[in-house]
Amino acid sequence: MNTNVVIEPLTQQRSVLLPHVIKGLSAAPSMDDLCRRIVISCSEDLGFDRCGCFLYDAANNQKLGMWGIDDNGQLADERGMTAPIRDHERIPHHQANAPLVFTDHSLYHQDQYLGQGTLIECAIFDGDALLGWLFVDNFLTGRAFSQADIEFIHLFSTVVGQLMVRANQQAALTEQNRQLNETIRQLEAAQHEITEVKKMKSLGRLVSGIAHELNTPIGTSLTAVSHIQQLANTLRKTYVSGTLSKSMLESSLDAILETASVGLQSVDRAGQLIRDFKQLVACKHTVPQAATDVKAVIERVFNDVARQFDHNVILEMRANISAQCWWLAEESFTHVIREIFRNAMLHAFSEQPTGTLCVEIKTSERSELCSLDLVIADDGVGMGDALAQLFDPFYTNNPQRGSGLGASMVYNTVTHGLNGKIEAANGDPSGLIYHLTIPSSPVTMTVG
């Protein structure tokens, strides 16, 4: 008994070509292109006559045409075609052990009758979910289908089903990515809009603050000038009328001098505010670095500030640094320390003019970066819930003692002028604590 299995040459050739065909189909970027490649490969690579590919339209319960081969053997675009689903085309996958074969069957291209022939129909499933159909007929050559042909078409339809599942997954992933990108775009647009709104609000607060701060000294100055003018006019009238007495002259001059002094103080106050505004902008400019003795700067600034106040505040400083001098923008650094100390004297110790300012200096190295870490703490009254507004321009808890620009200038100087970071926290049980991190490097002293 001969047990050798004879494989038809065409079937053997198709088996050799199948991996190449699958590779080409796998590269399809979309379901539409996959269907087009299936039809081309079935005809040109695998040697079948005519092939057609339909998808299942579950929403409308119908077949959707995709691509096919016409009666001249050319690729035909059948997208847009629809057809009803017949009962035998709903066979579940686990029952479809072989394709449906129709002999002496009426063959068509779209709605045009071509003649009689054999039609092989394979339903394509993902599990029990119907995906579509693959149709193959012998209209062009009239060659009869062998059992090997039918089995190979069944195998090919199984491969096509797996590729369609993957194409659907890729399409779903592409749609998810599109939606994600659209969401990101909308979030970026919203973020930009929020940023612009914040900028406008910040600008509005700044303009409002400038107007509010300047309004008082300018208004006082105008009142003073107006009062001086009124006194001068009265003095002139009494002089012209010959009724001006020595006592009236002296009292008028005293009133004019006193009013002028008030006006000058108000003008000086307005000038100081304008200088502060300019400093607020200047804080964002980088100042050249220089070798800076950090401890000496802090001690000098503290002594200068302390002389301006009748307080009994002492400075405690702990330094754990590897060098005496560090590369810093000394002017900016001095400004920051001065404003922090002045704020402490003005606000922290306003009600209890006795206390301590503690300064701790350390260095830290992260990767190749080196920085100075400063902790400046007072044991004054603290800020409580108002801490969140500390760095806002024009915020002050006592307008009589400041313009509310000091802490804002400190923040801008640290973040822009020194390229560092600054945070503040309430002390426990009281006081205010500043944490500053300033990029820097030690000055290496060389001996010539």
User: Beta partners for 320?
Assistant: 362
Instruction: For helices 31-40 and 147-241, give the axis angle rounded to 10 degrees.
Output: 150
Tokens (6 digits) for 256: 């004019």
Quick one: average pLDDT of 207-219? 76
Architecture in CATH of 290-439: 2-Layer Sandwich (3.30)
SS3 31: helix
What pTM value is reported for the model? 0.48
pLDDT of residue 268 exceeding 90: no
pLDDT band at 282 (very low <50, low <70, confident <90, very high): low
Residue with tokens 């923008």: 329
Q: What is the pLDDT of residue 48?
A: 92
What type of residue sits at position 442? P
Q: What is the helix (H) or strand (E) element at residue 374, kind and residue range?
A: strand 369-378
pLDDT of residue 56 exceeding 90: yes
pLDDT of residue 447 exceeding 50: no
Q: What is the pLDDT of residue 263?
A: 87
Question: In this structure, are residues 400 and 271 in contact, taking their beta carbons and an 8 Å threshold?
Answer: no
Tally Cβ neighbours within 10 Å of residue 34. Answer: 24
CA distance 34 to 162: 12
Tens digits of per-residue pLDDT, 337-380? 999 999 899 888 888 888 999 999 998 766 557 889 999 999 98
CATH value of 9-177 in 3.20.20.330, 3.40.366.10, 3.30.450.40, 3.40.50.300:
3.30.450.40
Percent of residues, the chain, with pLDDT higher than 90:
40
